[in-house]
Amino acid sequence: MSVLVTGGAGYIGSHVVRLLQNRGDEVVVVDDFSTGLAERLGDATQIHLNLASTDAVEVLGDVIREYGVTAVVHLAARKQVGQSVEQPEEYYRQNVGGMANLLSAMRENSVDRLVFSSSAATYGMPDVPAVTEDLECRPINPYGETKLIGEWMAADSARAWGLRHANLRYFNVAGAGWPDLADTAVLNLVPIVFAAIRDGRAPKVFGDDYATPDGSCVRDYVHVLDLAEAHLAALDYLDRDERTETTFNVGTGTGSSVFEVIDQIRRATGQDFEIEVSPRRAGDPPYLCADVSRIEATLGWKAKNGLAEIIDSAWAAEASAS
């Protein structure tokens, strides 16, 4: 199989690329390399392209035909929630516009298989112990809105011309499957805490007075390698004639609090650092945890790693980089 992976040079995309390569698929990566790194890609074909550019449909069409692409994993997107609030037009242009161009190129070249990188940000602030995919989506920022629109676009293409698609709603992704594929951006809790330790600063905990067991926010942390495996399971699912679902939560089904994450980092690093409790961060749902029964039952996928493995692998990657 020849698979086009958009955003394949990114933290998550590069894990998908490596798993596809390891199982013998041919991989073509399309990335604008704004945050992606070429050295993550091994011998995968690399195409430098912003999916929202005016010539994107044409270039994608050329790539699809030249490499005999039969399926697409679409991860290329802007993904910073705060930035999306400041620059909504850019998020719509890149995430929605890029998706429209991709779908046009797929349609024009009869590529009918798509795994779409969606997000738990589509849910917004659900007040339930575990989120099921059928819950009404009420995103609370442009980032989450663009991901939900992406799901709608895929559904409309399925109706219009028979696209086969799977939307994967990622929960909180962390860890590293290989040390050279670490999350190098300092945007999420685990890399932020590592950066603080490295600089001798006390990591901040945004709020310890939530109505959660220890007062800090709870999230469903999923190992990036498990998440990458879910993409392969979803690709295989698209080959089936009988398909009942299109949208899948990707998490572990187990929530961990910010304090629990920090305790695991203390254990993994052997460093007993101080923390600073800060005010709550605007827009943080107190509790966000996946119900994973659908993906287990339908794709036969289940996360193999828990929080300890996530933190151990992230720290091993961090230590090997420095």
Please report how close the Cβ of residue 159 comes to ligand WQD at its closest, in angstroms.
27
For ligand WQD, which residue of 222, 258, 310, 314 counts as binding (CB under 6 A)?
A: 258
Q: Which of residues 108-137 bind ligand WQD (CB under 6 A)?
A: 119, 121
For ligand WQD, which residue of 192, 202, 238, 316 counts as binding (CB under 6 A)?
A: 192
- The distance in angstroms from the start CA to the end CA of the chain is 37
Regarding 246 and contact with ligand WQD (CB under 6 A), the answer is: no
**Do the beta carbons of residue 15 and residue 177 sit within 8 Å?**
yes
Regarding 206 and contact with ligand WQD (CB under 6 A), the answer is: yes
Regarding 201 and contact with ligand WQD (CB under 6 A), the answer is: no
68-82: string of b/e by CB count within 10 Å (b at 16+)?
ebbbbbbbbbbbebe
Regarding 79 and contact with ligand WQD (CB under 6 A), the answer is: yes
Please report how close the Cβ of residue 298 comes to ligand WQD at its closest, in angstroms.
23
Whichever of 205 and 314 has its CB closer to ligand WQD, that residue is 205
Of the CA atoms within 13 Å of residue 282, those in its CB half-sphere come to: 5
Regarding 188 and contact with ligand WQD (CB under 6 A), the answer is: yes
Q: Which residue's beta carbon is nearest to the bound ligand WQD?
A: 217
Q: Which stretch binds ligand WQD (CB under 6 A): 2-10, 47-55, 105-113, 203-211?
A: 203-211
Coil, strand or helix at 98: helix
Which residues face 165 on adjacent strands? 114
For ligand WQD, which residue of 138, 281, 304, 319 counts as binding (CB under 6 A)?
A: 281
Regarding 204 and contact with ligand WQD (CB under 6 A), the answer is: yes
Alpha helix locations (H) across the chain? 11-22, 56-67, 81-86, 88-91, 98-108, 142-161, 189-199, 224-238, 258-269, 293-299, 307-321
| CA-to-CA separations, 53 to 1, 74, 105, 111, in angstroms, rounded | 27, 16, 13, 20
Active site residue 143: yes
Regarding 12 and contact with ligand WQD (CB under 6 A), the answer is: no
| CA-to-CA separations, 257 to 189, 214, 218, 261, in angstroms, rounded | 11, 7, 4, 6
**Helix, strand, coil share (%) of the chain residues, nearest 5:** 45, 20, 40
Token couple for 98: 């890029």
For ligand WQD, which residue of 172, 247, 305, 313 counts as binding (CB under 6 A)?
A: 172
- What gap in Å lies between CA 120 and CA 36, rounded to an integer? 22
Whichever of 99 and 106 has its CB closer to ligand WQD, that residue is 99
Token couple for 254: 């187990």
For ligand WQD, which residue of 205, 224, 228, 289 counts as binding (CB under 6 A)?
A: 205
**Identified catalytic residue from 11, 91, 123, 143:** 143
Q: Which stretch binds ligand WQD (CB under 6 A): 34-42, 103-111, 154-162, 200-208?
A: 200-208
Sites of contact with ligand WQD (CB under 6 A): 79, 81, 119, 121, 172, 188-189, 192, 204-206, 217, 219, 258, 281, 284
